[in-house]
Amino acid sequence: MSSADEIYKNLVIEILEHGVWDKDQDVRTVWADGAPAYTKSVICKQVTYDNTEVPILTTKRVPWKSAIHELLWFYVKRTSDCSYLDQNKVAIWKEWTNKHNHIGKAYGYQLGKPIMIEGKITNQVHNLIDQLKNNAASRRHVISLWDVDELDQMELYPCVWNNQWLVKQGMLHLIVSARSNDIGLGNPFNVFQYYVLQRMISQITGYQLGTLTFNINDAHIYERHIDSLKEQIARESYSAPQLWINPEITNIDDFTIDDFKLINYQHHPTLKMEIAI
């Protein structure tokens, strides 16, 4: 059994059995038909993966190439212009794309905007890699996508808004913070893509792969996803696949989708779930 499937199953069961409804509140998130998108949620949930397996679900198909494309858009292209997604037929941001085919000053923009560090102009991604290589013991290896001064210029506030990297005994650990996580759709996507990012940074910096931890402040299941999730967690999982990453890449900016192959990914069929907006 895939450990990622087991972790996910336990998380879904916990929310279904112990989560609280938000039906007594003014919910601003809606479905495409305009109905309120109510959720059941638990707060302050921490989930850790030991990374001995690729943490991708097998009880349903996770669109892994789309997940990597979004990751490359953020961390390699470092832009909020959706042209890259269009070129690669990735439509996951269509509900939040403005008339300029842009998501405003969110995500990739925050990673790519120039910052001044010790008199040198750089960006958050390049600074992270430089500091991991040259100041490994630091506890300041943090990337933030939450700029208070620019939130009103983002089409969507960042859900996964912060990550911290720690080097301990030659191993690179990653802690990801999410203010909000849609367990039905977003969580499987996010867990896999941050594992991929961790593998990329580990390869570039030369550290062994450590643990991946998600701190989720609001872990929720949408009402219309419940039946699909019950069906999913009743399925028997398959063994986890393997992820090949081109070992010749030593610069973050050189990664493309062709540098990734998911090998022996056996999975159950896709489960359709609506997107709340």
Q: Report angle CA 205, 207, 211 to the nearest 5 degrees.
A: 120
Q: Report angle CA 75, 91, 125 to the nearest 5 degrees.
A: 5
165 contacts 139 by C-beta, under 8 angstroms: no
The Cβ of residue 18 has, within 10 Å, a number of other Cβ atoms equal to: 10
- Can 159 be counted among the known catalytic residues? yes
Identify residue 200 by its one-letter amino acid code: M
Which runs of E-coded beta strand occur in 134-207?
Answer: 142-144, 160-168, 171-178, 181-182
Exactly one of 27, 159, 204, 275 is catalytic; name it: 159
Closest CA to 112 of 148, 143, 74, 83: 74
106 contacts 93 by C-beta, under 8 angstroms: no
Q: Which residues of 143-164 are buried (b: 16+ CB within 10 A; e: fewer)?
A: bebebeeeeeebbeebbbbbbb
State the catalytic residues.
159
